[in-house]
Copies of this chain bind each other. A is one copy, B any other.
Amino acid sequence: MTPDPDRLALAVDIGGTKFAAAVVDGGGEVVVTRRAPTPRSTDPDVVFAALASAIDATLDAAGLRLGDRSAAGAVLVPALGVGTAAPLDLTVGTVSPVNIPGWRSFPLRDRLTERYGVPVGMIGDAVAVAVAEHWRGAARGHDNVLGMVVSTGVGGGLILGGRAVSGSTGNAGHIGHISVDPEGPLCVCGGIGCLEAISSGPSLAAWARANGFAGGDGTAAAVAEAAVAGEDVALQAFRRSGAALGLAVAGAVTLLDLDLVVIGGGVAAAGPLLFEPLAEAYTRYAALGFAARPRVVPAMLGGAAGLIGAAAVVLSPEQYWPSGSAD
């Protein structure tokens, strides 16, 4: 996808903590953005109203309606690109994000189409991050990519043959919920030994605390700080998290013959603390020739990746818009 000076996209990022909307230009730069805290309400309409406010505030700040031409002559494409916390169901356009209790099988696609009168291209939030890294970040020029976010949870999105993969219902990429330890800890999803139950920030911090870590506020950030200072249990916590990630990533590369794996998110910000044990485990478990060369790199785009990926859905629909949401 090459930068397009003639088009702008309205992008939406739906997370458990905040809603964000943005106008993104054809080169992947955020022109204007507005955000709102995700309501804790169990009333689906209250939650939707907060989202609509963030979108409306973004349009107002840009001084544009959908379909308008900007002062510089670029059209704000009459469509919405949405990256949403999972799970979702693209076959019917609903979302049930774990951390948004007000939305259970909420018909987000229909509600947005109804309100804004335009098509809505919806993808998972981690898929949006993968798309963004593929378009403008660390995965540029690679056709077969797993993008991951390791933070409060462990999410993922796939690009195969240069195109975003949605799967049957829009949930492809859920690497955080494959089991990497058949006898491991129970996961919130109900599975056993899921990658997320070992490698996420909260899981990593819980393991450290259970093994005697008492530094700072006991979060993954505090564990990272102690690891940098050389504290043994903190180093071990990162080694355990990194090793599980390396095992899972080795499996994904072997199954999908990927070029590149890009990892972002707060835990990945710990850098070599995480990436070194990850690479070591990767090498141990990805032995077949086509998979053996290590290919795991840090993400480049940070917090705006979700919005940039959602914009790509609008700007390059044939490549990134899952068929299930184009109807």
Residues of A with Cβ closer than 8 Å to B? 87, 89, 96, 143-144, 156, 158, 160-161, 163, 165-175, 177-182, 187, 189-192, 247, 250-252, 254-259, 284-291, 323
A258 and B288 form a contact (CB under 8 A) = no
A258 and B179 form a contact (CB under 8 A) = no
Complex A-B: 22 CB contacts under 8 Å: A144-B172, A158-B255, A158-B256, A160-B160, A160-B167, A161-B323, A165-B256, A167-B290, A168-B258, A169-B290, A171-B288, A173-B255, A173-B257, A174-B254, A174-B255, A174-B291, A178-B250, A178-B254, A179-B251, A191-B287, A192-B284, A255-B255
CB distance from A71 to the nearest CB of B (A): 39
Query: Which residue of the partner chain, among B177, B187, B254, contacts A177 with CB atoms under 8 Å?
Result: B254
Q: For A192, what are the chain B residues with a Cβ–Cβ distance below 8 Å? A: 284-285
Query: Which residue of the partner chain, among B165, B168, B256, B258, contacts A290 with CB atoms under 8 Å?
Result: B168
A285-B191, A287-B187 are contacts. A251–B178 as well, Cβ < 8 Å? yes
A89 and B290 form a contact (CB under 8 A) = yes
CA distance A163 to B256 in the complex (A): 14
A181-B182, A252-B255, A258-B168 are contacts. A174–B89 as well, Cβ < 8 Å? no
Query: Which residue of the partner chain, among B167, B178, B247, B257, contacts A258 with CB atoms under 8 Å?
Result: B167
